[in-house]
Structure 1
């Protein structure tokens, strides 16, 4: 099997698992707070944390094959996190005139994901 096909299978299978987790988080959490879809926020914060952890872990494991790296990063984490849904939710809040909620929503996703990534990196790198 070619390395391109192996990479494609790694990305596709990782993305499927990540997307299923994101969907499950949405089902479990989005109805809890009508103004702030908590499932999307949880997916992005968890994804940020895991991305930071993966960055630190992958540096320590250069022997890990490119296919596994693709499975974890581009596949699983790409399927778990969602910039498009976050953007659509922010736009919907703005269109309803909920400026404070839209600002809080955007800040939580952006700052929260960066902070979660830094925490994940720090915990694994130390």
Structure 2
């Protein structure tokens, strides 16, 4: 039961962080591009890979904290559905370049962030 409560709390925190990053990004970077969603998805991919690798290769992160951080926090932080909806909106508005930039930026950025998270975890553990 404690594990479920930890996951729920972490999910709520991740969701709130996503909301506040979205607000900040809209004000600081502009609303013509979904910067907030891109930022949380790229950061989430980095953190997911880092935590998963550390949890699998060391005893630094227990199984409970691994699932709390990955399923809970990163699950609440990242959002494929918002990425998809924002990209579809850009394409529907015929903002082809911006839509393509969001699609490619998210796919490549998340892939590279995940690879960097994995490398960072291996560097931290000497593996």
Is the pair's TM-score, using the shorter chain for normalization, greater than 0.5? yes
Q: In the alignment, which residue of structure 1 is the partner of 2:45?
A: 48
> How does 1:1-126 map onto structure 2 within 5 Å?
5-31=1-27, 32-62=29-59, 64-126=61-123
C-alpha contact (below 8 Å) 2:52/2:66 kept by paired residues = no
Report if aligned partners of 2:54, 2:60 keep a CA contact under 8 Å in 1.
no
Secondary structure at the aligned position of 1:30 is classed as helix
* Structure 1 residue 20: Cα displacement: 1.1
Q: How far 1:68 sits from its partner (Å)?
A: 1.5
Contact 2:22–2:37 (CA<8 Å) still a contact in 1? yes
Q: Please provide the CA RMSD for this pair.
A: 1.5
Residues 103 and 53 from structure 1, CA distance in 2 versus in 1: closer, same or farther, beyond 3 angstroms? Answer: same
User: If the length of structure 2 is used for normalisation, what is the TM-score?
Assistant: 0.88
Size of the aligned set, in residue pairs, is 122
Structure 1 unaligned regions, length at least 5: none
Partner-residue secondary structure (3-state), 2:31: coil
Question: What's the TM-score once normalised by structure 1's chain length?
Answer: 0.89
Task: Kindly indicate whether the alpha-carbon contact (under 8 Å) linking 2:15 and 2:77 is maintained by their aligned counterparts in 1.
Answer: yes
